[in-house]
Amino acid sequence: MRMLVIGAGSTGGYFGGRLAQAGRDVTFLVRPARADHLRAHGLEIVSPHGNLTLRPQLVTAGGIKEPFDIVFLTVKAYSLEAALADLAPAVGPSTMILPVLNGMKHVDLLGARFGRKAVVGCACKVAAVVDEQGRIVQLSPLQQIVYGEMDGSSSPRVRNLDAFMQGAGFETRLSMTIARDMWEKWILLATLGSVTCLMRGNVGEIEAASGGLEFVLRMFDEVVAIAKAAGTAPSEEFLVEAKATLTAKGSTFTSSMYRDLLKGRPIEADQIVGDLLVRGGRAGVATPLLAAAYTHLSVYQNRLS
């Protein structure tokens, strides 16, 4: 099988690099400046699981000549629409699009452009950044990709995908409940992003503040209510674990949205928070705290435009 990775940043570069290291046929679609850097220095990964430098197969926009078996889509959600034209030549009748974007809006956009059958559900967990030297630096040992058919079936193509992904040095799991997995990730991201950005602090700092614990739990309840009314209800096990993560005393855990906000970078407020509000509103779910967080994030976003 042949995989095209859209982007060679912290997520695409990390997982794509590990797959290439394991001997898989992987090509990266990158911007010209990133291509120049990778040709000069290689794809460099600094990781608790072992460092890596490799010379990846590269292509830039307009250079795709035939479809790929897998398109691993790792762009930020706000860059998706701009990326659709670039990746379109890679999508054939049997291509699987494996997106690791946050939220669920991308599933609708990709389905409208390429057909819903082309989209395979996916959720990944990795903490990594691209440093000033262009290296991908993994910040913690966590590295997992979960994938599966959106309808929960065990199709031949998704079993082939599973075989392709296994044994590449990171945790993989073929899921028959991928829609729930994706919604659970969204619940955690939306709650964590909203509370850390609104309160300007990490989990431990918010928990220790007057009213902080109650605030986090109320925000969490609003987001979960939307998932139950407009999406896929989370498991009880997830609810217990997520509450513990979001309220842990002394925790330095924070969100990538908050880190991007502090650095003056674009954020995925529309995809992670705004789209939740839209879905919740359609379902009649009251979300005053989440609405306040979105207004706060929108003020920031408007300053960047």
Instruction: Say which CATH number the domain at 195 has.
Output: 1.10.1040.10
Single out the residue in 144, 176, 208 at which a domain terminates: 176
Q: What is the mean pLDDT of residues 203-220?
A: 98
Place of tokens 């691209």: 130
Q: How far apart are CA 259 and CA 255, in angstroms?
A: 6
- In contact, 3 and 95? CB cutoff 8 Å: no
pLDDT of residue 78: 82
Q: How far apart are CA 288 and CA 222, in angstroms?
A: 8
Q: What is the mean pLDDT of residues 77-91?
A: 90
Burial of 302 (0-12, 13-18, 19+ CB in 10 A): exposed
CA triple 193-198-203, angle to 5 deg:
60
* Helix 236-246 × helix 212-230 angle, to 10°: 150
Distances (CA, A) of 131 to 95, 184, 218, 302: 32, 29, 36, 26
pLDDT band at 180 (very low <50, low <70, confident <90, very high): very high
Residues 186 and 121 grouped into a single domain: no
Residues 101 and 194 grouped into a single domain: no
For residue 70, what are the β-bridge partners?
Answer: 3, 96
pLDDT of residue 127: 85
Pairing of strands 96-99, 70-73: parallel
Q: What is the mean pLDDT of residues 206-223?
A: 98
Q: Is the pLDDT of residue 220 over 90?
A: yes
Q: Is the pLDDT of residue 94 over 90?
A: yes
In this predicted model, what pLDDT tens digit does every residue of 253-277 receive, in sequence order?
Answer: 999 899 999 999 999 999 999 999 9
What pTM value is reported for the model?
0.91
Single out the residue in 158, 176, 194 at which a domain terminates: 176
Q: How many domains does the chain have?
A: 2
pLDDT band at 79 (very low <50, low <70, confident <90, very high): confident
CA triple 140-50-253, angle to 5 deg:
5
In this predicted model, what pLDDT tens digit does every residue of 235-250 receive, in sequence order?
Answer: 999 999 999 999 999 9
What DSSP string runs through 182-249?
A: HHHHHHHHHHHHHHHHHHTS-HHHHHHSTTHHHHHHHHHHHHHHHHHHHS-PPPHHHHHHHHHHHT-T
- In contact, 272 and 102? CB cutoff 8 Å: yes
Alpha-helical segments (H) within 68-177: 80-87, 105-114, 156-165
Q: Which of 71-85, 147-161, 196-210, 271-285 has the lowest mean pLDDT?
A: 71-85
Residues 238 and 277 grouped into a single domain: yes
Q: What is the mean pLDDT of residues 210-214?
A: 97
Residues 251 and 278 grouped into a single domain: yes
Q: Is the pLDDT of residue 27 over 90?
A: yes
pLDDT of residue 305: 79
* C-alpha dihedral (234, 237, 243, 244), degrees to nearest 10: -160
pLDDT of residue 185: 95
Residue 151 three-state SS: coil
Q: How far apart are CA 177 and CA 164, in angstroms?
A: 20
Q: What is the mean pLDDT of residues 89-112?
A: 94
Over its C-alpha atoms, the chain yields an Rg (Å, rounded) of: 19
- At 280, the amino acid letter reads G
Residues 261 and 292 grouped into a single domain: yes
Residues 41 and 159 grouped into a single domain: yes
pLDDT band at 82 (very low <50, low <70, confident <90, very high): confident
pLDDT of residue 247: 98
Residues 185 and 171 grouped into a single domain: no
pLDDT of residue 54: 95
Residues 98 and 224 grouped into a single domain: no
Q: How many residues are recorded in the chain?
A: 305
Place of tokens 């911007």: 31
Q: Tell me the residue range of the domain where 26 lies.
A: 2-176
Q: How far apart are CA 271 and CA 104, in angstroms?
A: 8
Residues 51 and 187 grouped into a single domain: no
pLDDT of residue 216: 98
Q: How far apart are CA 161 and CA 181, in angstroms?
A: 18
Residues 85 and 234 grouped into a single domain: no
Place of tokens 């059958």: 117
Q: Is the pLDDT of residue 88 over 90?
A: yes
Q: Is the pLDDT of residue 234 over 90?
A: yes
In this predicted model, what pLDDT tens digit does every residue of 151-177 receive, in sequence order?
Answer: 999 999 999 999 999 999 999 999 999
Residues 19 and 94 grouped into a single domain: yes
Q: How far apart are CA 298 and CA 277, in angstroms?
A: 13
CATH of residue 77's domain is 3.40.50.720
Mean pLDDT score of the chain, rounded to an integer? 95
Single out the residue in 176, 202, 218 at which a domain terminates: 176
* Widest pairwise Cα distance in the chain: 59
Residues 196 and 166 grouped into a single domain: no
